[in-house]
């Protein structure tokens, strides 16, 4: 059984694997996948590296972490009972509440009995004769499963900056994505933060409230816009609950599953006054409206994008008192919305505080981390506490960290590195039969739980189909992989987002081999993605080979 402490070889050809399905990860996708597979009567086991459920919302417990999607659009939609029982307390839920929510889900559906915690998967190897995967944990323990579902999330392999001397630093130091469970205080401390992505922005605005002195090391600035969060009282929650069916219907129809939907007008189809009023309205509205609900050409037409960027730049200049600091905070190398837009609450005002200092490491590069702090080309900064908000080896990073070996000894990491990223609907990979990815590369991400629910259900239906028909082998046909990969490329054409370095284009200079942009995501609309996948299922999965 799986509790064996020994590494075992794969089962003999006629042996029954330990589990029908092994799921890697107990975040939003892993939890729901387990539930769906159980409903099919399958024996499923989840291995989770953390000591609790929640994935992203378990690991990212840094100060200020919260949703950037409206809470009620982010929660699971599959259970009316769950929708009835859970009240959100803020329009954009903070991490502790979200972690509580996911624990509530795990308890409500009695999921924990099939989850093994503190169980980081180190390797997964397909045995062609046994038609099963052997999954091995870092502890050496292993188990076999007919099928494997990776539910590892697209942003779950934290990366530290490649800066010399990091280990020499003697103060407190934390990566936001590996934030400790114990309380971290900033009161009176000299704090340094490296990184100003969506995470850094959330952390900085919180840390600045109490830090004795905060130094922010910014490489490339990002375009940030106001979140406009506020509490939800019980009367408002009742209204939200009544509106759930329409809300989820709306999320099904929008391009990226948010409640916001792109405005059908072109930027230059309206008068200057109308355009300005629309930008102002979006800037004053909660959430991602200004990014996801802007004019239809904002992310495809350079001139349209330049106008939106100009508007947000003006807002930054208005909010930051020191003109020099304001200029440092305005991106010059990419247009508004072409990288993930950090959502903020008085982020720009932080730089008006006397205890906060912004250091552009484009102007004065960091030379090394020292025992006392950070040394730039200009001077050494001493800190009591250093925060790395330096992001993730995104999309493929958490898969790369598992030694996944498919048919003919092909290693997944090597395959993608040498041939480029190829998938079938972002779920299957040629040469890796019986392996399915939840929200893997080439899937529609966006408001992620909405994408997850669809993905998980599609994978469960497929596994159910194979199981019911007695098939022990499911593989993507090479021509289907080629077709989907070409479709992803076609959908990425003309998008300004794909012309910019960011995790969304697979670039992470802290990871070897991730210096160049790739088409890591499917950038068509979610409805189109679902239509494609629905069609595959409706035609009996002709694109796959069953045996």
Asked if residues 214 and 204 have their Cβ atoms less than 8 Å apart, the reply is yes
- How far apart are CB 257 and ligand NAP at their closest, in Å? 13
- Answer yes or no whether residue 27 interacts with ligand NAP by CB under 6 A: no
Residues 374-403 that bind ligand NAP (CB under 6 A): 389-392
CB of 414 to ligand NAP, least distance (A): 25
Phi, psi of 24 (to 5 degrees): -105, 110
In 3D, which of 117, 35, 22, 23 has the Cα closest to residue 76? 35
Judged by CB under 6 A, the residue of 10, 115, 149, 198 near ligand NAP is 198
Nearer to ligand NAP, 267 or 497 (CB): 497
Stretch that binds ligand NAP, among 24-32, 66-74, 118-126, 457-465 (CB under 6 A): 66-74
Mind giving me the DSSP string for 464-512? Answer: HHHHHTT---EEE-HHHHHHHHHHHHHHHTT-GGGGS-SGGGT--TTST
Q: Which is nearer to ligand NAP, 125 or 175 (CB)?
A: 175
Instruction: For the segment 506-525, give every residue that binds ligand NAP (CB under 6 A).
Output: 510
Contact 173, 163 (CB under 8 A): no
Helical residues (DSSP H) of 2-75, grouped into ranges: 28-39, 56-59, 71-74
Nearest alpha-carbon partner for 415 in 406, 424, 428: 406
- CB nearer to ligand NAP: give 199 or 309: 199
Q: What's the token pair of residue 134?
A: 């052997």
447 binds ligand NAP (CB under 6 A): no
CB closest to ligand NAP, residue no: 197
Cα-flanking dihedrals φ and ψ of residue 322, to 5°? -80, 115
Selection from 228, 224, 227 nearest residue 316 by Cα = 224
CA atoms of 148 and 142, how far apart (whole Å)? 13
Q: Is 54 a residue that touches ligand NAP (CB under 6 A)?
A: no
166 closest CA partner among 383, 16, 328: 383
User: Per CB under 6 A, does 66 bind ligand NAP?
Assistant: yes
Stretch that binds ligand NAP, among 23-31, 197-205, 232-240, 277-285 (CB under 6 A): 197-205
- Measured from the CB of residue 169, what is the shortest distance to ligand NAP in angstroms? 14
Q: Are 152 and 135 in contact (CB under 8 A)?
A: no
Distance of closest approach, residue 289 Cβ to ligand NAP, in angstroms: 15
Is 360 a binding residue for ligand NAP by CB under 6 A? The answer is no
The yes or no reply on residue 161 touching ligand NAP (CB under 6 A) is yes
Q: Which of residues 126-155 bind ligand NAP (CB under 6 A)?
A: 155
CB of 503 to ligand NAP, least distance (A): 5
Helix (H) or strand (E) run with residue 435 in it: strand 435-437
* CA distance linking residue 35 with residue 78, whole number of Å: 11
Q: Which H or E run includes 276?
A: helix 272-284
Number of residues that bind ligand NAP (CB under 6 A): 25
Is residue 332 part of the contact set for ligand NAP (CB under 6 A)?
no
The mark string for 272-311 relative to ligand NAP (x by CB under 6 A, - otherwise) is ----------------------------------------
**Token pair for 335:** 């247009």
Q: Does 476 bind ligand NAP (CB under 6 A)?
A: no
Q: Nearest 10 degrees: CA dihedral of 508, 422, 460, 157?
A: -10
Q: Which is nearer to ligand NAP, 137 or 389 (CB)?
A: 389
3-state secondary structure of 387: strand
Instruction: Give the integer Cα–Cα distance in Å for 272 and 275.
Output: 5
Selected from 197, 287, 397, 440, the binder of ligand NAP by CB under 6 A is 197
CB of 460 to ligand NAP, least distance (A): 26
Binding residue (CB under 6 A) for ligand NAP from 200, 289, 373, 446? 200
68 interacts with ligand NAP by CB under 6 A: yes
Instruction: Return residues touching ligand NAP (CB under 6 A).
Output: 66-68, 155, 161-163, 194-200, 202, 219-220, 340, 361, 389-392, 503, 510
């Amino acid at each position: 059984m799986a509790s064996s402490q020994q590494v075992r070889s794969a089962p003999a050809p006629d042996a029954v694997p330990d589990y029908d399905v092994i799921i890697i990860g107990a975040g939003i996708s892993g939890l729901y996948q387990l539930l769906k597979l159980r409903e099919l009567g399958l024996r499923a086991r989840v291995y989770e590296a953390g000591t609790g459920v929640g994935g992203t919302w378990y690991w990212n417990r840094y100060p200020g972490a919260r949703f950037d999607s409206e809470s009620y659009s982010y929660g699971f939609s599959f259970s009316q009972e769950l929708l009835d029982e859970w009240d959100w307390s803020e329009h954009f839920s903070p991490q502790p509440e979200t972690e509580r929510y996911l624990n509530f889900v795990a308890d409500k559906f009695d999921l924990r009995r099939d989850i093994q915690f503190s169980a980081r998967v180190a390797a997964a190897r397909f045995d062609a004769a046994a038609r099963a995967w052997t999954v091995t944990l870092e502890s050496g323990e292993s188990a076999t499963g007919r099928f494997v579902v990776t539910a590892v999330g697209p942003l779950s392999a934290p990366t530290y900056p490649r800066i010399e001397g990091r280990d020499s630093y003697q103060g407190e130091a934390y990566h936001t994505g590996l934030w400790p469970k114990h309380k971290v205080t900033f009161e009176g401390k000299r704090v340094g933060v490296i990184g100003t992505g969506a995470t850094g922005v959330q952390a900085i605005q919180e840390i600045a409230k109490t830090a004795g002195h905060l130094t922010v090391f910014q490489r490339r600035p990002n375009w940030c816009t106001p979140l406009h969060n506020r509490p939800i009282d019980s009367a408002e929650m009742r209204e939200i609950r009544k509106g759930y069916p329409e809300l989820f219907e709306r999320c099904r129809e929008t391009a990226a599953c948010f409640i916001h939907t792109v405005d059908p007008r072109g930027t230059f189809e309206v008068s200057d006054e109308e355009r300005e009023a629309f930008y102002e309205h979006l800037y004053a509205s909660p959430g991602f409206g200004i990014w996801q609900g802007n004019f239809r050409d904002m992310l495809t037409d350079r001139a349209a994008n330049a106008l939106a960027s100009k508007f947000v730049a003006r807002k930054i200049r208005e909010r930051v008192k020191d003109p020099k600091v304001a200029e440092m905070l305005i991106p010059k190398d990419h247009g508004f919305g072409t990288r993930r837009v950090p959502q903020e609450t008085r982020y720009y005002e932080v730089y008006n505080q006397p205890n906060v200092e912004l250091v552009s490491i484009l102007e004065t590069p960091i030379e090394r981390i020292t025992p006392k702090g950070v040394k730039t080309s200009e001077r050494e900064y001493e800190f009591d506490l250093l925060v790395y908000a330096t992001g993730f080896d995104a999309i493929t990073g958490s898969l790369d960290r598992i030694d996944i070996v498919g048919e003919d000894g092909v290693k997944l990491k090597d395959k993608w590195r040498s041939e480029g990223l190829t998938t079938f609907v972002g779920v299957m990979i040629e040469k890796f039969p019986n392996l399915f990815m939840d929200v893997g590369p080439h899937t529609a991400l966006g408001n992620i739980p909405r994408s997850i629910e669809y993905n998980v259900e599609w994978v469960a239906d497929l596994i159910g189909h194979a199981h019911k028909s007695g098939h022990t082998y499911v593989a993507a046909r090479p021509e289907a992989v080629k077709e989907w990969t070409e479709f992803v490329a076609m959908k990425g054409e003309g998008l300004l987002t794909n012309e910019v370095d960011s995790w969304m284009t697979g670039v992470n200079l802290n990871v070897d081999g991730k210096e160049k942009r790739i088409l890591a995501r499917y950038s068509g609309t979610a409805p189109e993605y679902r239509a494609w996948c629905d069609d595959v299922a409706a035609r009996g999965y002709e694109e796959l080979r069953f045996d």
